[in-house]
Chains A and B, each alone.
Chain A
């Protein structure tokens, strides 16, 4: 009697692929995604949307978990206060890493290794569409930009500013008002760690001075200080830190926070110093003069250039009949691309699209409350190369699952599977197209 041959142990690459494509890995990844969604949503109450998104959903690792904030968000501190309890850094993978791992898992498991047969074709199509949706998120994260463009009636611009990203810009003032203007840009990530006591110096060969930044505050305002006041003082003013929480104890939206810092411009030749306060809400940038040349230094939101300019010709507010409640804001604009001008209308939920950008009506100013006397519109500008990908992915997921379920039903009813499923899908799609056509 011969002994049965021992089963062959799979090779290491096979085992790695099997592990990466396994249900076990998928389950762990989905559970972790659920956990970070839960924690990130709770922390948002005290840290705000943007900070939570960055920490939990756009990161490779969550650098710390503020359990105290999560506890308070659940109102559990009313029963058992735990104070400011923070878990150590790098305990949890962030959303970016989890989605990358899920992409690999689904690609290997749901596309490469899955048994290909008529029975699984619908599932493969759905997996492919989900991968497409994850890819859409990655493209939007890496290549998308969004911000706001404020225009008064008659005003034209081809730049919008970010909602959240701050920069410091240095511009040399030119004698010729028609000369092309440019600015050196210091990204916010390079100075937003400069708490009082820390400093960083920025240099550029074209500048006659070095710029040292310190005392960065996320939300502050310049306040006049008395002679006896301590702390860094510039021209009689110092930086007064403001709370990040509103009167209700909730985190203020990031776009309402006013960054500030103290800057020192030091002459490269003589070492002479000029000191100023940079503040997001300043009425004008800080002017420094070196060797008869003037430079302006400004803390502002990051600017983005569009491939076309927008001129606001007219903007109107439409009210519900008999009330002063706004029903609709509409702007009549001219889209200017080089020498070409095109009249367009932008209204709520009906943006103007072009050049990869979508221009949405976001805010309206009737000029009375702001006392400007001129009506104005705020346009949200979105550049997202994967703008329509999620919609396409959703349609494909639905088609894939429909195909799968109809083929299962056909087998159960002992009908020809392909004929049954495809004819019904065709009928559903036709009905859907007619419904959309009638609705729009």
Chain B
């Protein structure tokens, strides 16, 4: 056992797939940053708001006013450097740090695929993605045609986890037996050509999409791994992601996944891709120097593999942390993020904050639009940690304004997956006396229904 374990880590494979992956990843990230910038979202999401929702423990990460543009510029530039393989190690470190900083600035914008990018770029810190077909090769006048096999397998494993866990999360009664939330989302896309008016309105189609989506997510990693089904699987990947791109506002994610899944193919395809790039860039004069593969194996491989083993154990366990919290996960969302639970809920809420002066017995309600953007208010009203953080922000603000001793209560309602709205947070709990922690939030009212499943 230990022997085969050891020999696995000594196995070598072509460096081409990782090089193509690096190029694709870098370019996709560059486009993402440009797109984000072009839509004016930096200003809208990170400069305009008066208040930003922080992740627990990362309260110190805040937008930097106009300097926020610089972070995005650095992030985009480092993505470009990653793509061309220039100073790769430094570039991927800068990319990981700047991208993760951006994501930590305001959890309002949390998306599973942003988290995926952070996790993936962390993994890439440890991979020799510049070993082949990179500017670094030109600078060092050498390149490596082979790298340890586990380097590529690590990326496959991460992509596999994302898909498989997304599939596991779909095994629940709302998704499979009520076709929710697709039953809400699909009919509302009535304005799509060809399918909008008819197909998307059909109940059988909602169920077909729900079940199909679950099987797709669960099976696609294996279909991609198995040589005989690989091409078919890739076609499915393209179709599935293009289709979801048409239906939902999920930005660059589908393209990233399509490009990313190329890593599952054999090196032959990647050499063809590299040849195509070379042909396109005729001026690109790469000096190929095939070096003995054994010289590549880095001396710190043991440390790296140990770090990555811990990393993957965390990745495998983290999505299951929700079992530590009582109640319905979709309702209280404790342990919901960072778990590849994608597109599972249609949740809307309304939270109405009451500022009470217990000495005078007076109170007033807060107009959320005075403090939050529409997007922030929407996210805040359905997620307890947002509600708590916002209540404390309001508390500090009104205390500073001289409103004296105050208590803050919230009257809130949430509707989940087509159910009628019901009270969400205990309206009799002074939120200023509650503090963020990993412990269960007892002031969330119980969900009056049951969703069975993982």
Question: Are A and B part of the same complex?
Answer: no
A residues with CB within 8 A of B: none
